[in-house]
Amino acid sequence: MRETGRETISAVIMTKNGEDLVEGTLRSVASWVDEIVVLDGFSTDRTVEICRRYTDKVFQNRWDGYRFCTERNLGTSRATSDWCLHIDPDERVTPEFRDAVLAILRKGTPHNAFQFRKKNFFLGRWMRHGGWHHYSLHLFRRGKAAYEGVIHETLKVDGSIGKIEPPVEHYPFTSIKQLIARHNGYSTREAKAKWEAEGRLSDEVIAYNLKRKPLKRFFKFYVRKRGFLDGMVGLVFSVLFAWVHFINWAKYWELANACES
């Protein structure tokens, strides 16, 4: 039974073809949030069926695969609680995080949003190092924050922001094949957004980002942030995320040449 006499909270989840993941997310919030809002991009698998076991607030919108902020703001607009927690299908609320949020809702707070720790797993292993145990800003008072940006959306908050140390667990990649497939799509959108925002950049800038920056990213993840302490998984992670930067810029270079020919 949910508590009374405290501020209310909605969990907002964006989905598309996530039948293998979304039930874990729903279970992690169903017993304590006041409302679950699902914004689905017309899934063709059992995602919607699963979500409707937990909430009758399942809405569908045909996402263009490009503007994440539009989808997040649309999900927020369907919520009715005092607070919104945006959580993705590959994330799980921990009991510690739940208790910290409920304490805030009971006591009240001058803040209009909270950053919280995201505990990231790669190939099933918690990445203690490599810069992947970071803060995420997706908990806010409804009406006091909105998302901006195209691909990498940012929450703009009217007011102060607090911090919650207990984490939400994040399981973004369970295989290398999945990572490569997902970033193949992301990189195309990244290249398009960069071209639309900045046009044709100089050959020097492109060369730097293709030749030197991937090596610097590897050094950052593996050496400076001590990814080497995560063993072979840390090495694979560092190489692949250096590759992510390279492929983003390789596609920008390809697009720029195509647009000028």
Give the tens place of pLDDT for each residue, 199-226: 999 999 999 999 999 999 999 999 999 9
48 with 164, same domain? yes
pLDDT of residue 197: 87
224 with 166, same domain? no
Mean pLDDT of 68-76: 89
Structural domain that includes position 37: 9-173
Q: Using the 3D structure, point to which of 151, 173, 195 is the last residue of a domain.
A: 173
91 with 185, same domain? no
pLDDT(1) > 70: no
pLDDT band at 149 (very low <50, low <70, confident <90, very high): confident
Tell whether 221 is covered by a domain: yes
Mean pLDDT of 99-110: 97
71 with 95, same domain? yes
197 with 162, same domain? no
Tell whether 1 is covered by a domain: no
160 with 54, same domain? yes
Tell whether 164 is covered by a domain: yes
Cα–Cα dist 207/112, whole Å:
42
203 with 142, same domain? no
When the pLDDT of each residue in the chain is averaged and rounded to a whole number, the result is 92
Cα–Cα dist 2/57, whole Å:
18
169 with 187, same domain? no
Q: Are 120 and 133 in contact (CB under 8 A)?
A: yes
Tell whether 203 is covered by a domain: yes
22 with 39, same domain? yes
Q: What CATH number is attached to the domain comprising 139?
A: 3.90.550.10
Tell whether 160 is covered by a domain: yes
Instruction: Give 23-29 contacts, CB < 8 A, sequence gap 24+.
Output: 23/50, 24/92, 25/87, 25/88, 25/89, 25/90, 25/91, 25/92, 26/50, 26/51, 26/53, 26/54, 26/55, 28/87, 28/92, 28/93, 28/94, 29/85, 29/87, 29/93
pLDDT(65) > 60: no
User: Collapsing DSSP states into helix, strand and coil, what is residue 111?
Assistant: coil
Closest to 158 in 3D by CA, of 112, 193, 115, 102:
112
Which position has the token pair 């017993």? Answer: 31
Number of domains in the chain: 2
DSSP for residue 64: -
pLDDT(87) > 60: yes
138 with 226, same domain? no
Q: pTM for the whole thing? A: 0.85
pLDDT band at 185 (very low <50, low <70, confident <90, very high): confident
